[in-house]
Structure 1
C-alpha cells in the first residue's frame, strides 16, 4: 500500500506540473519553452532540502548512487554517460521519460501508449541481458568451485578462509568531491539550483504550463512533496525505470519476480488519472503529433538508457541529485546535452 500511495502522489504531481505532456518535453529539447527545465530545477531543489532533512533527522540512511561502468570508455562513469545520452535521445524522440510515460498512460495521451509499449519492450530486453549475465556468472562460479574442490582432494589445506559478502559500494557524493561537509555541499547545490532557476525564469519565461494555470515552481514543489511522501512511507526515494526491468523478469520462466516498483508505477498511473479527472484543464488542449514508430523507438531508448545509467530523470535527476551523487550529475548532464542535440536535429 505504501508503494502504491507514493506512486499516486508522484503521478498526481507530474500531471499537476504539466511535465508529463509530450509537447512540454519536446518543446524543451527544441529550446522553445523551458517549462520542463524550470520544473525540474524546482523539484531538484525542493527534493534536496527534503532528502537532506530526512538524512539529518535519521529518518533515512540513503547512500549516493553508485557509478555505472561498461568498460568502453576510460572513466568509471561511461555507463552514466552512455545511458544518460540514450535516455535524453529517447526523450527528444518520444516526448516521454520513464515516469512521464506512465503518467501519459494514466491521462490518456495517445502517443504515451506507444511509448509505454517501447518501454516495456526495453524492460524485457534488459531483463534478458541481466539474466544471461547472471547465468554466465553462476556458471563461472561453479567452475571455480569445482576446480577448488579438485585441488582440495589432492593437496592438504593449510589455512581456513572465511568469505564475507561485501555490500555494494556507493558512489562518491558532492561533499567528498568538494571536500566539505554534507550540509555545506547541500547548501552549495541548493544555491546553484535556485540561481539557475532564477536566471532561466528571467531569460526564458515559460508559456505552455502557465497557459494551464500551473506555474513551473508550483509543479516542481508538488514533485518535491511526492518525494517527501515516498521517504516517509517507503524510506526510499522516487524512481520509475526499475519498474520496467521488474516487469521484464515476468517474461522469463523460473526467474525471481518482484513487484515493489510495479506497485509504485501502478499508483503513478492511477494518480495521473485521478488528477486529470479532478482537473480537466491539466490535460493538453491539443496533443502534439508523435508517430507510433517514433514513440516506440523513443520509449525503448528511455528505459534501456535509464537501466544502463542506473536511473532515469526521477531516479537520477530528482533523487540522485538530492543525494548529491556525482554519478547523477554526470547522467543528468548527458541526458540534457544528448536530448538537446537530438531535438535540434529532429526539429
Structure 2
C-alpha cells in the first residue's frame, strides 16, 4: 500500500506541474522554453533539503547511488552512455520513465506507445542487459598515494572535491538558485497554460519525495519498475511466478494518481498535445528505459533522488541527459 500511495503522490505532483506533457519536454530540449528545467531543479533542490534533514536526523540511512560501469572507459561510463540514451529518447518521445506513467494516466496518446516501448526495453534488459553494468566496478585504476586512491573510489561530489557534505549541499542550492533566476524569463509555458509556476510544480514533486521518505524510508525512482515488469512478463511466459512487484505497484500508483487528478480537475488535463508518431514514440520509449537501466536510474532516480544524495554518478547522468537530449533535438530539426 505504501508503494501505491507514494506512486499516487508522484503521479499527482507530475500532473500539477504539467511537466509530464510531451510538448513541455520537447520544448526544453529544443531550448524554446525552460519550464521543465525550472521544475526539475526546484524539485531537486527541495528534495536535497528534505533528504539532508532525514539523513541528519537518522530517519533514513541512504547510500549515494554507485557508479554504473560498462568496463569500457571509466567506472562512470554506464552513467554517461545510459544518460545519453535516456536524453536522446526523451527528445524523441517527449517522455521519461516517470512522466510516461503520468501520460498513461492522463490519457496522452503518444504516451501509450512510449509505454509499450518502455515495457519492451524492460523485458529486454531483464534478460540480456542486467549483467552488462556493474554497480561496483571490479577495480579502480591504480594511483599513487592514499588521497588519490580515495578520490578514485569516491561516489559523492563532496568526496571528489574534498569538502564537507554540508558545504556541497549549500553550494548546490546556491547554484540552483542562480540557474533558476537566469532561466525565469524563458520558462513561461506552464505558467501561461495552467497558471501554476514551475517553482510551485517543483515543490510539489519535492513533496512527493517527502511522502516516499515518510512511508517507505526510500527515495523516488521509476525505471526499476520497467525492469521488474519486463522480468515478470518473462517469468510468467515461462510458467514462473513474479519475483518482485513493489516497484510495479509504485508505477501503478503514478498512473492512478495522474488519472484521478486530471479527471477530477479538468484544468490539469493535457493542455496541448504534440503529434508524435507511434514508431517514434515506441523507439523513444525503448531508449529511455534502456538508458535508465544502463545508468542505474532515470530523471527521478538520478535526477531528483540521486542529486539529493550528492551522488557523482547522478550528476554525470543528468549532465549527459540534458546535453545529449538537446543535441538530439537540434539534429532532428
Instruction: Please give the TM-score of this superposition, normalised by the length of structure 1.
Output: 0.86
- SS of residue in 1 equivalent to 2:172: helix
CA deviation vs aligned residue, 1:197-248 (integer Å, no higher than 9, x gap) = 111114x232244321111000000000000110110000000000000011
Alignment of structure 1 residues 47-66 onto 2, 5 Å? 47-66=47-66
Q: CA deviation at 1:178?
A: 2.1
1:76, CA displacement in angstroms? 1.1
Partner of 1:346: 332
SS at structure 2 position matched to 1:98: coil
Q: Distance in 2 between matches of 1:58 and 1:329?
A: 24
Contact 2:17–2:190, Cα closer than 8 Å, also in 1:
no
Q: Secondary structure at the match of 2:98?
A: helix
CA contact (8 A) 1:43 1:318 kept: yes
Q: Following TM superposition, by how much is the alpha carbon of 1:133 offset from its aligned partner in structure 2, in angstroms? A: 7.3
Once the two structures are TM-superposed, the CA of residue 256 in structure 1 deviates from its matched residue by: 6.2
Following the alignment from structure 2 to structure 1, what is the Cα–Cα distance between the partners of residues 2 and 154?
A: 28
Distance in structure 2 (CA, Å) of the matches to 1:232 and 1:105? 26
Q: CA deviation at 1:131?
A: 6.6
Q: Which residue of 2 aligns with 1:87?
A: 86
Q: Which runs of 5+ in 1 are unaligned?
A: 135-169
1:69 maps to what in 2? 69
Counterpart of 2:290 (choices 284, 287, 304) is: 304
Please give the alpha-carbon distance, in whole angstroms, between the structure 2 residues aligned to 1:6 and 1:171: 31
* Residue correspondences, number: 310
Unaligned runs of 5+ in 2: 134-152
Match of 1:112 in 2: 111
Q: Tell me, yes or no, if the aligned pair for 1:171 and 1:325 is still in contact at 8 Å.
A: no
Matching residue of 2:136: none
Secondary structure (helix, strand or coil) at the match of 1:62 reads coil
Structure 2 Cα separation of the partners of residues 233 and 9 of structure 1: 11
Paired residues of 1:43 and 1:221 also in contact (CA < 8 A): yes
Are 1:2 and 2:2 an aligned pair?
A: yes
Query: Larger Cα Rg: Structure 1 or Structure 2?
Result: 1
**For 1:207, which of 169, 186, 189 is the aligned residue?**
189
TM-score normalised by the chain length of structure 2: 0.90
User: How far did residue 189 of structure 1 move?
Assistant: 1.0
Q: Equivalent residues in 2 for 1:144-293 (5 A)?
A: 172-202=155-185, 204-250=186-232, 251-252=234-235, 253=238, 254=240, 257-293=243-279
Report SS of the residue matched to 2:177. helix
Query: Are the equivalent residues in 2 in contact too, given 1:64–1:171 (CA < 8 A)?
Result: no
Distance, in Å, in 1 between the alignment partners of 2:272 and 2:129 is 40
Instruction: Confirm or deny: 8 A CA contact 2:65 2:313 kept in the other structure.
Output: yes
